[in-house]
Amino acid sequence: MSITRRGALAGFAGLAALPAVAAHSQQLAQAPFPSKPLTLVVPFPAGGPADIFGRNLAQAMSPHLGQPVLVENKSGAAGVTGVDFVAKAGSDAHVMGLMSASAGAIMQSLMPKMPYDPAKDIAPVILVVRVQEILAINSKLGINDLKTFIAHAKANPGKVTCGSAGTGGITHLAIELFKRETGTDLLHVPYRGAAPATNDLLAGTVDTVLLDISVLLPHIRAGTVKPLAVTSDTRAPLLPDVPTLREMGFPKVNSDNWYALMAPGNASLEHRQKIFTAASAALKSKEVIDAYAAVGGVVGGGTSAELAAFLREEVEKWAAVIKGANVKLE
């Protein structure tokens, strides 16, 4: 048999197999979902608040999906690395992930080029949790309320220091938003995380910080840190006596950190709906509500459409802050 004839016969054999391949693909598409354990990507290291939110959600979703939901930590680039992993999963809804405010609404205005297209490569499923933030000062400063602090800052432009968890993160942008709305000129001091910023606040190296409530709560309860205001629309359940900036006349200063559940952008609507139904039920469970509350998290919810609209609003809000303050990544 000639090489040409052998190749032709092989080609015909391949063509004959095409209907079988197509039938197999159709069977996979029609297979019950989920058909195997699912992966929930947490885009931050194990042990932190994001990990707590993710692991409690995964555990509570499993019974509603009939499959285990396994957590995989993929940190880096302010949460972008983990979201990128989910975006690259194509149409496989067995892979889903948490998306933080940084990756979901901030980094696309700061990074020269995102590794994925936020509008196409990820699909919003449901808002998982909001984490309120606190503007706090060292108790030794002797300032007891927001009005006095603002007056002090205006009397000392560029001299009052305010620490954040890092340049370009939500705590930094919250400071810039606070400065814009209150007409103050605070000196931003970026740290590599919330822990060193808190340590320097306790040591008196910085005058104030704006950080997630979970980070500051133990020091507030110990009396070493004085909370001035919650940068949210509602008071923090764990600190009901601390007023919001909205109450104090600054309604635009809302810097809730948040985490949302997302699926790959090409995942089918049917599969995404099953994930949504499981997540929605999980977020209503007492176990999840209590676990989130213990670290300052307020359980989310709502529809996928509402989350998509919220994401658009967040992108627009933080893009304006970034442009106005000329924020650049280090």
Domain end residue (candidates: 230, 248, 277)? 230
User: Are 159 and 303 members of one domain?
Assistant: no
Residue 1 has pLDDT above 50, yes or no: no
User: Are 292 and 305 members of one domain?
Assistant: yes
User: Are 122 and 66 members of one domain?
Assistant: yes
User: Are 226 and 137 members of one domain?
Assistant: yes
pLDDT at 16: 43
The domain total for the chain is 2
Residue 173 lies in a domain: yes
Q: How far is CA 320 from CA 97, 176, 177, 189, in A?
A: 27, 11, 10, 21
Residue 284 lies in a domain: yes
User: Are 198 and 281 members of one domain?
Assistant: no
pLDDT at 25: 39
Q: Sorting pLDDT into bands at 50, 70 and 90, what band is 30?
A: low
Q: Are strands 161-164 and 122-131 parallel, antiparallel or unpaired?
A: unpaired
User: Are 268 and 319 members of one domain?
Assistant: yes
Question: What CATH code is carried by the domain that includes residue 203?
Answer: 3.40.190.10
Residue 178 lies in a domain: yes
User: Across all residues in the chain, what is the average pLDDT?
Assistant: 89
| Amino acid letter for position 290 | D
Mean pLDDT of 51-72: 97
Domain end residue (candidates: 230, 265, 283)? 230
Q: Sorting pLDDT into bands at 50, 70 and 90, what band is 9?
A: very low
For 216: left if phi > 0, alpha if psi spans -120 to 50, otherwise beta; the answer is alpha
Residue 92 lies in a domain: yes
Residue 236 lies in a domain: no
Mean pLDDT of 29-53: 89
User: Are 46 and 120 members of one domain?
Assistant: yes
Domain end residue (candidates: 213, 230, 247)? 230
Containing domain of residue 168, as a range? 133-230
* CB contact at 8 A, 59 and 24: no
Residue 15 lies in a domain: no
User: Are 95 and 175 members of one domain?
Assistant: no
Residue 19 lies in a domain: no
pLDDT at 292: 95
Question: What CATH code is carried by the domain that includes residue 64?
Answer: 3.40.190.150
pTM of the model: 0.85
Residue 5 has pLDDT above 50, yes or no: no
User: Are 114 and 42 members of one domain?
Assistant: yes
User: Are 49 and 109 members of one domain?
Assistant: yes
- The helix or strand, by DSSP H or E, that contains position 209, with its residue range, turns out to be strand 208-212
pLDDT at 17: 43
User: Are 119 and 261 members of one domain?
Assistant: yes
Among the listed ranges 3-12, 32-41, 104-113, 321-330, which one has the minimum average pLDDT value?
Answer: 3-12
Residue 139 has pLDDT above 60, yes or no: yes
User: Are 260 and 125 members of one domain?
Assistant: yes
Residue 7 lies in a domain: no
* CB contact at 8 A, 243 and 146: yes
Among the listed ranges 193-197, 290-294, 296-300, 326-330, which one has the minimum average pLDDT value?
Answer: 326-330
Among the listed ranges 18-32, 70-84, 104-118, 195-209, which one has the minimum average pLDDT value?
Answer: 18-32
pLDDT one-digit tens code per residue, 239-260: 999 999 999 999 999 999 999 9
Q: Sorting pLDDT into bands at 50, 70 and 90, what band is 6?
A: very low
Half-sphere exposure of 130 (CA within 13 A, CB side): 19
Q: How far is CA 21 from CA 25, 268, 311, in A?
A: 6, 20, 40
